[in-house]
């Protein structure tokens, strides 16, 4: 069982957001839809993708609930982290990977302090290779998640595609919150945030421009330390 450490303070989050709003937008890039094809080495002038991109995608999962969907991160042989607001007031129906493999959910444990939930599954999942416990301001990063494409219709399901979005670290808060200057979309909550070395630096939980909007904005990330993944820190 992965231990959850750190206490999120509302005042601290506000300080992080104020600093982001005051920061200069250094660099933004677009998004690419990840289908069955391989990712290119660069996207819209962004940094080179890490050599272990396939492994990073493999440890990112789709979280389906009775009210919609989101993204999750594999953090243990049978453990997945996701954003708590995805599973609140709903039932987790299951999780799946890029290859369409579905995993049975055993339990869901929301965290009482931060926007985080632990999902335990029956089958073993690919493990995270490396965790980054140090985050630098102005560091380029990328988020893997799911982009909402089409609403639920009378004759069709909700459609979503895997997507990779590049962003830049705008602010690193003392309480474990990280602010990104970038883009998000509905369905990307709970998505892992990696640096260009392919190391996990945190999990996306919110966008101040609206998590349902496909616009550039201020993104909120729970750092790996706040997620309880930095055991030696």
pLDDT of 155 > 50? The answer is no
Q: Give the pLDDT of residue 4.
A: 33
Q: Give the pLDDT of residue 46.
A: 61
Name the pLDDT band for 38 (thresholds 50, 70, 90). very low
Of 138, 158, 136, nearest to 147 by C-alpha is 158
User: Domain 10-54+130-223 classified CATH 3.40.50.300?
Assistant: no
The residue ranges of every structural domain in the chain are: 10-54+130-223, 56-121
pLDDT of 28 > 70? The answer is no
What are 103-127's pLDDT values in tens digits? 899 999 999 999 999 999 998 887 7
Q: Give the pLDDT of residue 232.
A: 60
Name the pLDDT band for 149 (thresholds 50, 70, 90). low
Q: How far apart (Å, rounded) are the C-alpha atoms in residues 103 and 121?
A: 6
Helices first, then strands: H and E counts in the chain = 3, 14
Name the pLDDT band for 55 (thresholds 50, 70, 90). confident
Domain covering 56-121, topology: Thrombin, subunit H (2.40.10)
> Do the beta carbons of residue 140 and residue 47 sit within 8 Å?
yes
pLDDT of 82 > 80? The answer is yes
∠ CA 209-147-186 to the nearest 5 degrees? 35
Residue 89, CA distances (Å) to 65, 84, 85, 191 in order: 10, 10, 9, 20
Q: Give the pLDDT of residue 23.
A: 37
Cβ-count burial 204-227 (b if 16+ within 10 Å, e if not): bbbbeeebeeeebbbbbbbbbbbb
DSSP state of 233: -
Tell me the mean pLDDT in the region 47-73: 83
Q: How many CA atoms does the CB half-sphere of 56 hold within 13 Å? A: 29
Highest mean pLDDT (candidates 3-12, 211-220, 223-232): 223-232
Q: Is-same-fold flag (10-54+130-223; 56-121)?
A: yes
């Amino acid at each position: 069982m992965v231990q959850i450490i750190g206490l999120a303070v509302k005042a601290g989050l506000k300080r992080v957001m104020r600093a982001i709003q005051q920061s200069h937008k250094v660099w933004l890039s677009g998004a690419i839809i990840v289908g069955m094809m391989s990712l290119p080495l660069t996207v819209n002038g962004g940094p080179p993708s890490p050599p272990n991109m396939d492994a990073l995608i493999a440890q990112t999962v789709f979280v389906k609930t009775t009210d919609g969907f989101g993204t999750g991160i594999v953090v243990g042989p049978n453990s997945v982290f996701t954003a708590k607001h995805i599973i609140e007031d709903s039932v987790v129906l299951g999780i799946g990977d890029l290859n369409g493999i579905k995993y049975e959910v055993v339990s869901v444990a929301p965290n009482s302090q931060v926007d985080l939930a632990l999902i335990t599954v029956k089958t073993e999942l690919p493990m995270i290779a490396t965790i980054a416990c140090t985050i630098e301001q102005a560091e380029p990063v990328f988020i893997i998640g799911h982009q909402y494409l089409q609403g639920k219709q009378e004759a069709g399901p909700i459609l979503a595609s895997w997507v990779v979005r590049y962003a830049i670290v705008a602010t690193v808060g003392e309480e474990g919150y990280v602010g990104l200057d970038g883009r998000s979309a509905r369905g990307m909550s709970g998505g892992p945030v990696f640096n260009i070395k392919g190391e996990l630096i945190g999990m996306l939980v919110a966008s101040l421009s609206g998590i349902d909007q496909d616009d550039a904005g201020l993104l909120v990330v729970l750092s790996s330390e706040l997620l309880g993944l930095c055991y030696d820190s």
